Structure 1
Amino acid sequence: MPANLKLGMNLGFAINKYVEPHVWARIVAEEMGVKNIQFVADLLNVFLPDEIIQEQVELIQKNTSKYGLEVTSTFTSAFTRVNHFMHPDAKQRKVWLEWFKKFAKVSREMGAHCTGSHFGILTFADYDDAARREHMISEGIKNWNELSWYARDLGMTCLMFEPMSIPREMANTVEDTKELLQRLNENAGVPFKICLDVGHAPHPNDRDPYRWVRELGKDSPIIHIQQTELNHSRHWPFTEEYNRQGIILGEPLLQAIEESGLEEAELVFEIGHREAWGTEFRIIADHAESVQYWRQFVKD
């Protein structure tokens, strides 16, 4: 039986460009044509004062309701791509645990049923020392597990981590991802799942994006989709121009999903535009064309 798939939009495209909830909500609903939202922390960093957070959450609730959108998940993004649970300073790890708890609470207020991030990032000093490396990974697992019990009390269904591009950022091979997922789930309050990204297959021995989906798709309720070249993570749009160059296409991706045993998932657009004259004014149009391409395969 084919997987039940929906399209979603990661709001990374809106960071510093379309930050107002009434602006990005209208763009996603009316110009891009997507209903499901993956909200990103860089649009509302919970380090901000509580009164500002509450005001913004109310605006987000008002405008997602107005435009028929649903915040199904939340995630960290470009500016929150930091060491967090594997920071070498224990005091800062503690601060980030409280940050993630607050972000999870705010996520639930927006309507999200799960939240996630990269697992954590090792410094070179910690990565190069085998004993220290394992200690820091254990610290990361401990903090994620504590967060998972907090997420359970909030009513979330799962937590997610994203396999990344280099060993210091964790889970950069299929085997490492499976091992980390198993370790996280040994003492979890809610299940840990994976947020696959079809561009994150950079290891020299593991560069087939479709293999990642075939082997890990069943544990990935959200898959980030981007157009890319082999050996890169370009975050290109699915426009005619880039589809001629790229390796991510609808038919083989859906085939890999079916072979994985995945039953239900969101394919979430994570498309990036560099700050340049050639791309700055194409953001909305490129997203709209990307959605149009994928509507051939996903009819939600």
Structure 2
Amino acid sequence: MSSANPLGINLSFCVKRWVTPNLWAPVVRDQLGLDLIQFSFDLVDPMWPSALVSRHARDVRKAADDHGITIHSAFIGLAHYTFNQLLHPDPDVRAYAEQWLERAYGFAAEAGIARVGGPLGAIAARVDGREAGSIDATNYEGMVERMLRLGEKAKVAGLSELYVEPTPMRREWPWTIDQARQMMSDVAGSATPWSLCVDWGHGTFLPLYGPEADTMEPWFSALNDVITAVHIQQTDYQFDRHWDFTEAGRVDPVDARQLLARTRLAQSPVFLEVFYPFERDSKSILDALKASTLSLKQAFA
């Protein structure tokens, strides 16, 4: 087995541009020279009518097969992320979010995608804007119950793994290493295993974690037994930028690969996850993506 991390790309860059498989598959394979992706549910809403969801699932599976692309996993994307999901203050919205994920599992299974994940939810902000150090026990316990229930539903769908992605927000869970460890322990009995997908721009958010958090090493070292995928982005550690590697930032691809090897994560797939303003022209994005993937491929070769 190769000692280098498998390198892929999250289809976040395709939103409102290369929105169908006959568009994104040749971009990934022919323009970027990649054969590993993480699908984004910004491209398919699993709550569409069932026949429409199934047709898109078949199209995704066929395009991946035709172009020699492996779809490692599917992540929830930005659109669903905005709705507070499993921690919305309205319990009916939480129930809907659980149903949304169940439908997402069905789409993934039909599309030949074995893993689904993303951030799970956010509590509402207080009127005075003050934020507690963590969500309360009732919210947390309810979310764990839903995660275990979702594990059962994912098993029925035929999935092999579910992901939670830690985010650098006090209103979400988990946002610290200790919280992530607690969550993984609390869902260890899930019918479908839960793992972590960690993001380079999340654990290094200095305004939240302080100046000592200028590296992902603490996250990788402490949680390497439950991390099975990684998002990489260029960022300045001041916000969760999701820049590509044509931008100036603090993430060096060569150092990134060495860090993953040093923390015993050399086999975990690494996905470039970048977002662009909708008004930016698509040609300049393609050029930036080509340069970025080339830089990453050279570092991870």
Regarding TM over 0.5, the answer is yes
Distance 2:101 2:67 in 1: 28
TM-superposed CA distance for 1:207, in Å, is 2.4
TM-superposed CA distance for 1:217, in Å, is 3.7
Q: 1:134 to 1:140 in 2, by over 3 A?
A: same
Alignment equivalent of 1:292, drawn from 278, 291, 294: 294
Q: Does 1:175 align with 2:171?
A: no
Alignment equivalent of 2:226, drawn from 195, 219, 222: 219
- SS of the equivalent of 1:265 reads coil
Alignment equivalent of 2:214, drawn from 183, 198, 208: 208
Counting only pairs closer than 5 Å after superposition, residues 35-50 of structure 1 correspond to structure 2 as 35-50=35-50
Unmatched segments (≥5 aa) in structure 1:
none
TM-superposed CA distance for 1:18, in Å, is 1.2
Alignment equivalent of 2:153, drawn from 150, 156, 171: 150
Q: Deviations over 1:96-128 (max 9, x none)?
A: 212111101211222222110102111124996
Q: 1:27 to 1:137 in 2, by over 3 A?
A: same
Distance 1:256 1:2 in 2: 16
TM-superposed CA distance for 1:134, in Å, is 1.7
Distance 2:278 2:68 in 1: 30
Distance 2:297 2:98 in 1: 38
TM-superposed CA distance for 1:50, in Å, is 0.9
Q: Deviations over 1:196-255 (max 9, x none)?
A: 10000222336223222333344221101101112322111112xx2xx31111232222
Q: Which amino acid aligns with 1:291?
A: T
Partner of 2:18: 18
- SS of the equivalent of 1:167 reads coil
Distance 1:75 1:17 in 2: 18
Partner of 1:117: 118
- SS of the equivalent of 2:201 reads coil
Q: 1:215 to 1:31 in 2, by over 3 A?
A: same
Q: Deviations over 1:111-169 (max 9, x none)?
A: 22211010211112499689982211111111111111222233322211111021102
- SS of the equivalent of 2:16 reads coil
Partner of 1:192: 194
Count of residue pairs the alignment pairs up: 293
Q: Which amino acid aligns with 1:47?
A: M
Q: Which amino acid aligns with 2:56?
A: Q
Distance 1:231 1:217 in 2: 25
Q: Does 1:92 align with 2:97?
A: no
Unmatched segments (≥5 aa) in structure 2:
none
Structure 1 segments (4+ residues) deviating >4 Å: 1-4, 125-132
Q: Which amino acid aligns with 1:68?
A: G
Q: Deviations over 1:182-202 (max 9, x none)?
A: 2222x3112211111000022
- Structure having the higher helix fraction is 1
Q: 1:129 to 1:216 in 2, by over 3 A?
A: closer
Q: 1:259 to 1:2 in 2, by over 3 A?
A: farther
Q: 1:273 to 1:286 in 2, by over 3 A?
A: same
Q: Does 1:265 align with 2:268?
A: yes
Q: Which amino acid aligns with 2:296?
A: W
Distance 1:175 1:3 in 2: 29
Partner of 2:8: 8
Distance 1:131 1:28 in 2: 39
Distance 2:196 2:135 in 1: 25
Partner of 1:32: 32
CA contact (8 A) 1:218 1:263 kept: no
Q: 1:196 to 1:131 in 2, by over 3 A?
A: closer
CA contact (8 A) 1:197 1:224 kept: yes
Partner of 1:251: 254
Distance 2:40 2:2 in 1: 29
Alignment equivalent of 1:230, drawn from 232, 237, 257: 237
Q: 1:258 to 1:179 in 2, by over 3 A?
A: same
Q: Which amino acid aligns with 1:204?
A: Y
Distance 2:3 2:87 in 1: 35
Q: Which amino acid aligns with 2:59?
A: L
